[in-house]
Structure 1
């Protein structure tokens, strides 16, 4: 039973992680671009770094969670266990996304403040 649960869990977790990461990557670019004041090079670099880190962290967390799985002996336990583990992954993904966006917001604000303090270049 555990092997079947692992297969179902990895399929669901992998699918959710890849699709959510792809959506965050494409739609989050505009948000990051706004906070980095149109700096396309920096925005694309940060966006790619966030995507790779997101994949590694979530898939690594999914693999680590296998170690905490109990022995399953019924279909009911299989369904409950897979649903619980997938729910934990989704909550973790939401928290990671929130932290990433808060960090980008704070970096954008810090960059905005430092650009106001610096004197204008003299011709």
Structure 2
């Protein structure tokens, strides 16, 4: 499963962003505040229907907008799956898979898989071992 294209509209600090991705490893580079993590958050939202940062929908909609949109074309074998989400700041979000409305977030699972490994996860490899007693 690979992401072929990603669109963000009024998502976090991205007014309008379209990215085409080649198969293989993609490196996202930019200055602090450019929206690198926001791009990843948009992708992860399409996989889970929620922010890996624990953010509210209102926080993900760009200031001054009433809704945000996330779209991605995901290649799975020989088929292309279109995942779309409309995040409404003060209302109900809408999710579609190949233009078919999804009623529950859990119906997103399996169409696009992500794993988030953030700075807090380094505790697993850098943290001190647990003590054996009092």
Give TM-score scaled by structure 2 length.
0.22
Higher RCO, 1 or 2 (CA under 8 Å, sep at least 6)? 1
Identify, as 1 or 2, the structure richer in helix.
Answer: 1
Identify, as 1 or 2, the structure richer in strand.
Answer: 2
Task: State which structure, 1 or 2, has the greater radius of gyration over its C-alpha atoms.
Answer: 1
Give TM-score scaled by structure 1 length.
0.23
